Structure 1
Amino acid sequence: MDDIERVGNFGVWDYVVFGGMLAISLAIGLYYGFTGGKQKTNKEFLLADRNMNPIPVAMSLVASFISAVTVLGTPAEVYINGTMFWLFALVYPVMFIVVSRLFLPVFFRLKVTSANEYLERRFNKVVRVAGTMTLFLNMVMYLGVVIYAPALALNAVTNISLWGSVLATGLVCTAYTTVGGMKAVLWTDVFQTCVMMAGFLAIIIEGSSRLGGLGNVWKIAESGERIDFWNFNIDPTIRHTFWSILIGGSFTWITTYGANQAQIQRCMTTKTLTRANIALFLAAVGMMVVVSCACLCGVVMFAFYEDKKCDPFSSKKIARRDQLIPYFMLELFGSFPGLPGLFTSAIFAAALSTVSSGLSALSAVTAEDLVKPCFPRMSQERFTLVTKGIGLGFGFLCIFAAYITSLLKQGILQLVISLFGIAGGPLLGLFSLGMFFPCSNSKGALVGLISGLAFAFWVGLGAIFIYPPVSNSLHLNISGCNLTTTSQVTLMISNMTEMPAIIQERPAIAGLYSLSYTWYTFVYCFVTVIVGLIVSLITGRGKRANRDTNLTQHCADGLCCFLPEACKKPVRCCDDKLVHYEEDGRDSIVGGDREDRYIDNGDVAMAEYGGKRE
């Protein structure tokens, strides 16, 4: 296992702080497991009875996907490649506008538990199951990365084994999620977000004070060519540009919050669409703050080691770039009892919040999409117990995925966004086909999804295993390092003599694998939508007069509501003959607890309504 040069000790008070964080997280789960309805119904277990306040929901939305990946990967990204990543802060307002105006209204009209319920109502059961399988692929691998990342950090600062840390994260998180349900997940996220921010602020304050303040930190970073926000190059193979982050990043985060069960499920815990939009707005603001703090940590870290003229990665004091921030934390706080424990707790808290959200989402889609249709007469208590067992099983599966992650050598930030793009892009394309293109049918949706996934795996896995993109990192200074080992001295001599790199000949196809990971979601979504529309047109457009407009959301109405009707009408993708069913709260003809079956044979979409009103 790769080791880190230890620069401090993880003492008794550090273990107390770290253990306290785990104990509080478990206590919250046990509290909600034995109070209230005791998580005996799926509505309480998965949706917190749909009565949550927007503020804890917003903090959970922040914590769920800004995780240990952010705590470890973002500062390292800024340290190595500069501040272009900071432009992701501009993406979150775009995400809020699109998701709140186009995606959430549809899910709230239908009152779904699993977002994939929409796919069956709009297309058919086969498309719903295909969407479920795609989500499984996305979430399990993502959670494997999230579990492995904090374990790597803890291993870097203590003598606890790496895989002992992986098991601790997976088991603790699985325990409080399966016992306490969604309420436990939401309130532990609130606590864990506070711990995560405390870790960031401690590094920024202490690191900048040692360098004479943030002004001096910024000057050092500028002289080291790390401050760069305005690269407008349109080359899609460049790792980060203004356009790749603004466009590609927007699609990445729209996928995360508009087509991902974990985030949709959180929004659905609120009573109304208005409250969900408030939670999403607060989450967008919170993510801007968290990403800014993470990037600022990277700037402070670069200035610190540039001032010392000793980069710990190039000098082989650490083995992986993801160990930069734990190593920096020990340099700053190694002599302060409890502070290393605080930052390690911040990394673990971030991971726990994300894993708990993912396990809850996986439990929801498995129970609603696969178990419930097979056992429709199962009692509510037994169904909830089965759902908890499913969450437990996924917890162990994610621990196995963490082992797979340990075999990959990419940085965790790029790896996570790549994984989101590979599975998330086609999934966003699938939901977009249903919501924004009434002419699409089930055949087009299924073929489009398969085509998008095939193209995504071809490009994404090729970029990881076959021809990784050439990375041109910025200069890192090691002239002030006290290099003692033979390998370190050889490294310094090779850097000082600037030996030319041997460029391996790459075939023409390698150019496709050189696509920047920030474009993945956009490109795969585009492939899915285009193929889906072509197949839908070939197999026959559905009779749009039989479509229910509760299943569609027009961009003209959602994003251009300020325009007069005369301007919006020409750009709508449907005509005025669409049937519209009014919704009146829980007693909705398209939603509530009623069973609605939509049959799409490529030509006619029919709605067969059955069951009784509540």
Structure 2
Amino acid sequence: MLFFTLILLIVFIIGMLWLGWWAAVKSTGKTESEYFVAGWTTGSVGISFSIFATLASAGYALGTIGVFYGNPAALTGFAFGMVFAPWFMWFMGKRAWAIGRKYHYSTFTDLIGDFFQSEKLRMVVSLIIVIFFTPYLSVNLIGPGIILNQASGGTIPYWVGAVAFGVVCIIYTWRGGMRAVIWTDIAQGLIMLAGFAIIIPIMIGAAGGWYNMWEKLPEQIALYKPKGGSFWIVFSWFWIIGFLQPANPDRNTRLLVAKDLFTLRKGVVATVILLNIATLISFFLGWSLAVAIPGITPTDKVMGAAIVKFAPFLMPVFMIVVWAAGMSTLDSGIIGLSAMWTKDIYRRNINPKATDDRVYTVGQILSLLFGVVALVIALINPKDLWFYIAAAAAVSMMWLPLIIGALYWKRGTTAGAWAGFVSGVIVTVWYYYVSKPPIPGPGGASFIGMVINVLFFVVVSLATKPLDPRHVARFQGIFR
């Protein structure tokens, strides 16, 4: 088993490194747009698979399925969120792409800084998101390290798996930029779909078959029966998947890479299909495992426990699925954060006269830096890391009202943007680190923070001098 595991892993690693190298070969030159948005040449397949694969992280393959195993009420909100998220991304993307293509944007902080005419706002938003979001990247190294240890029967220690995983992902992202991220995401998405297609029938069989699974499904996880779940738990998961995920910098960058608007539209439609498949995967695995192997705690260990018990020969396959899921999210986060700091910190404030070639090099260096930092955090693996990761994702969401305001609301002002963003971050941090939020569920703190954010943004904007209509027309006027 160990020999087969290593062979499968080596083939996977070689494939990812080759795709990264080939993406670099096919690049159109050492330019900022090439490295961060693939030269605006991405097709609908690349967009849809990249969004799908980025969302289906190692946390999805291990933790999210475990959540549905233990609390299927969350699956209802997750399912609604999965359907809603692509359309919300289209709502942002159809304008963001057009503006970004016209003004050569590679990050949403480009849009925020230019629309609200504030370099300080651009820089603060970028700094806060990068600081809080970097720990989020580390979780995608933890799962692969653990699963390789399990697949090797404990022969390969956790740190070896985490380092190998991190080095491979960092290398191809550093070498090929966004183009490598897109190409590897397609491959990794296909690997995940193929792997789950093999695993699901076996797990349903372990539950006694489809009909037996429904007959034995415990009352507490039968969502379509009375008292199936809490409203706030359902809403919280809808909020996280439907709004928070599209707001994350590793996801929404995909809205800027399409070669044209029609391609982006097709990509969004395809994303709806892929995310519904991801929902069905969660449904089949979460519910079948609840019947086949009840009582596993913590629930994020249920997939590994089930495979060890019912189909140990599939552990190498599941390991590759987890590695593909983790890489597809880690690479997106690395390139997204690198773009923000390269554009917002380096080119805007440190070296405004930097050439494209120089910016390309700095982007590569920062990609290495963020990847290494995430790897170090994963190796330290503090016991409360998951808590900080949840908080980081929630805080990173607070730039969303500013993005929507810049795209759609003519009355938004610089003062309003400052008030909304700062208040939203403070409230979200307060309810994660200091006080328990009054709304239960994983999204309670971010929801309250967002309400405060929007309230301050709107009220302060209406109370302060509006932006010059001619300036606003440079952004929102192109859609008339």
TM-score (norm 2): 0.90
**1:495-534 → structure 2 map (5 Å cutoff):** 510=436, 512=437, 515-534=440-459
Hey, what's the Cα distance between the residues in 2 that align with 1:547 and 1:232? 53
Asked if structure 1 preserves the Cα contact closer than 8 Å seen for 2:87 and 2:268, the reply is no
Hey, what's the Cα distance between the residues in 2 that align with 1:361 and 1:157? 31
Report whether the alignment pairs 1:345 with 2:269: no
Asked if structure 1 preserves the Cα contact closer than 8 Å seen for 2:222 and 2:228, the reply is no
Hey, what's the Cα distance between the residues in 1 that align with 2:19 and 2:64? 29
More helix, by proportion: 2
Q: Which amino acid aligns with 1:168?
A: A
Report whether the alignment pairs 1:421 with 2:394: yes
Asked if structure 1 preserves the Cα contact closer than 8 Å seen for 2:391 and 2:429, the reply is no
Note closer, same or farther for the CA distance 1:395–1:104 as it changes in structure 2 (3 Å cut): same
Pairing partner for 1:262 from 246, 250, 253: 250
Counterpart in the other structure of 2:67: 77
Q: Which amino acid aligns with 2:20?
A: G
Counterpart in the other structure of 1:325: 303
Hey, what's the Cα distance between the residues in 1 that align with 2:391 and 2:133? 13
Pairing partner for 2:162 from 148, 166, 173: 166
Asked if structure 2 preserves the Cα contact closer than 8 Å seen for 1:143 and 1:401, the reply is no
Hey, what's the Cα distance between the residues in 2 that align with 1:263 and 1:245? 17
State the SS of the aligned residue for 2:287: helix
Q: Deviations over 1:214-270 (max 9, x none)?
A: 12112222x35322157789977x5x23x4444x24xx533432x443333323222
Q: Which amino acid aligns with 2:395?
A: I
Hey, what's the Cα distance between the residues in 1 that align with 2:421 and 2:405? 10
Hey, what's the Cα distance between the residues in 1 that align with 2:22 and 2:415? 47
Counterpart in the other structure of 1:128: 122
Larger Rg: 1
Hey, what's the Cα distance between the residues in 1 that align with 2:159 and 2:300? 17
Counterpart in the other structure of 1:447: 419
Counterpart in the other structure of 1:551: 475
Hey, what's the Cα distance between the residues in 2 that align with 1:416 and 1:115? 22
Counterpart in the other structure of 1:499: none
Pairing partner for 1:459 from 417, 431, 438: 431
Asked if structure 1 preserves the Cα contact closer than 8 Å seen for 2:338 and 2:367, the reply is yes
State the SS of the aligned residue for 1:548: helix
Note closer, same or farther for the CA distance 1:115–1:294 as it changes in structure 2 (3 Å cut): same
State the SS of the aligned residue for 2:259: coil
Q: Deviations over 1:332-361 (max 9, x none)?
A: 222x3xx32111010011001111111111
Asked if structure 2 preserves the Cα contact closer than 8 Å seen for 1:200 and 1:294, the reply is no
**1:60-99 → structure 2 map (5 Å cutoff):** 60-99=50-89
State the shift of 1:136 in Å.
0.6
Report whether the alignment pairs 1:143 with 2:143: no
- Segments of 5+ residues of structure 1 without an aligned counterpart are 1-9, 314-319, 463-508, 553-579, 584-614
State the shift of 1:163 in Å.
1.9
**1:5-404 → structure 2 map (5 Å cutoff):** 10-33=1-24, 35-37=25-27, 40-111=30-101, 112-123=105-116, 124-158=118-152, 159=154, 160-221=156-217, 223-229=218-224, 238=232, 240-241=233-234, 243-246=235-238, 248-249=239-240, 252-257=241-246, 259-306=247-294, 311-313=295-297, 320-334=298-312, 336=313, 339-373=314-348, 374-403=350-379
State the shift of 1:107 in Å.
3.7
State the SS of the aligned residue for 1:439: coil
Hey, what's the Cα distance between the residues in 2 that align with 1:120 and 1:341? 47
Asked if structure 1 preserves the Cα contact closer than 8 Å seen for 2:185 and 2:328, the reply is yes
Q: Which amino acid aligns with 2:221?
A: R
Note closer, same or farther for the CA distance 1:110–1:202 as it changes in structure 2 (3 Å cut): closer
Asked if structure 2 preserves the Cα contact closer than 8 Å seen for 1:86 and 1:295, the reply is no
Kindly indicate whether structure 1 or structure 2 has the higher relative contact order, using CA contacts under 8 Å at least 6 residues apart. 2
Hey, what's the Cα distance between the residues in 2 that align with 1:277 and 1:415? 35
Counterpart in the other structure of 1:567: none
Hey, what's the Cα distance between the residues in 1 that align with 2:478 and 2:195? 50
Q: Percent identity?
A: 20
Counterpart in the other structure of 1:593: none
Hey, what's the Cα distance between the residues in 2 that align with 1:148 and 1:450? 31
State the SS of the aligned residue for 1:517: coil
- Segments of 5+ residues of structure 2 without an aligned counterpart are none
Hey, what's the Cα distance between the residues in 2 that align with 1:423 and 1:230? 36
Q: Deviations over 1:288-347 (max 9, x none)?
A: 1112202311211111124xxxx343xxxxxx432221121122222x3xx321110100
Note closer, same or farther for the CA distance 1:256–1:430 as it changes in structure 2 (3 Å cut): same
Asked if structure 1 preserves the Cα contact closer than 8 Å seen for 2:62 and 2:303, the reply is yes
Hey, what's the Cα distance between the residues in 1 that align with 2:479 and 2:277? 39
Q: Deviations over 1:74-117 (max 9, x none)?
A: 22112211254244222233233333134431342232211111
Hey, what's the Cα distance between the residues in 2 that align with 1:66 and 1:428? 21
State the SS of the aligned residue for 1:145: helix
State the shift of 1:403 in Å.
4.6
State the SS of the aligned residue for 1:116: helix
Deviating beyond 6 angstroms after TM superposition, the runs of 4 or more aligned structure 1 residues are 230-236
